[in-house]
Amino acid sequence: MPSKKQHPSAQTCPLPTGKLLLIGGHEDKGKPADEQTESAQNVNFAPEAILERLAQEIGNRGPLLVIPTASGLPEESGQDYVEAFRKLSGPKVVVQNIATRTEANEESTLALVDKAGGILFTGGDQLRLTTLLGGTALQRRIQARYAHEGLVVAGTSAGATAMSTPMIYQGRDDAGFLKGEIHITTGLELLHDVAVDTHFIARGRIVRMAQILATNPACIGLGLEEDTAVLVTEGRELEVLSSGLVVVMDARNCSSTNIHEVAPGTPFTMRGVQLHLLARGERYSLPTAPRLYA
């Protein structure tokens, strides 16, 4: 495990006071599991562990604001969390689907953020999420509260992917080995120099993550399996939660790659990538320096 030695930039940049909960998708919400599902076959499966931890982290700080903007079925997606947290006797859930950039700049929307003890971005399409929220007053308010007021920000599936910069938004799982098949853009900028991908093992996404790191070798790749999460404190300290694995890819010491030389649509090579597989309870210090927003 990397040392927790303080990064030089941290001496001048205060650490964020909030926490991030990045979820790999399909987290258990208390519904009966099919016998063929991964959770049913995993002897270490912990029902509702991720949502219970989110409720615990929020405590009595305020309601949980669920933003289902990424979802194609926002009402249904939001209601799932209303029911899940009701079963857990967790915080009150307020659902606000933000469908336009105008709504993301309205004072009534910002007031919901100000009252929230935590925010949860649901799954769906991460590009829709960043297109509608990126650069808005809502994004800036969430960043500020995360940095200075201890706000807990959670995201599942697309909602987790959108928290990082760079953000993966397009790329076929079965074509990640071909140059140009994977596309990235700027996420919501709560976690810098980290590329997050979800449903990581179930959908075989390790090679598409490798392509992201081949072109962005200063970044760390964070692959989250389903019903698995990491809690991020101080902007870089990770704790693995629930039933699956977290895959950490580090290409900073990659010895060589030819991705800058081969033609689009061609397989690329990459040597010397470091890989960590982390199960529940493991901790990891991201070798990146967090940034703080005013």
Q: Which residues are catalytic?
A: 157, 199, 226
Going 97 to 102 to 104 to 107, the CA torsion angle's sign is negative
Compute φ and ψ for 161, nearest 5 degrees.
Answer: -60, -35
Provide CB contacts within 8 A for 253, sequence distance 6+: 272, 274
Q: Can you point out the beta strands (E) in the chain?
A: 19-23, 64-67, 93-95, 118-121, 152-156, 164-165, 167-170, 183-185, 191-192, 194-198, 220-224, 228-233, 237-242, 246-250, 256-257, 270-271, 274-278, 283-285
Compute φ and ψ for 226, nearest 5 degrees.
Answer: -65, 150
Question: What is the three-class DSSP state of 165?
Answer: strand
Assess contact for 288 and 10: CB atoms under 8 A.
no
Question: What is the three-class DSSP state of 108?
Answer: helix
- What gap in Å lies between CA 111 and CA 115, rounded to an integer? 6
Per-residue tokens: 252: 């900073």
Question: What is the three-class DSSP state of 23?
Answer: strand
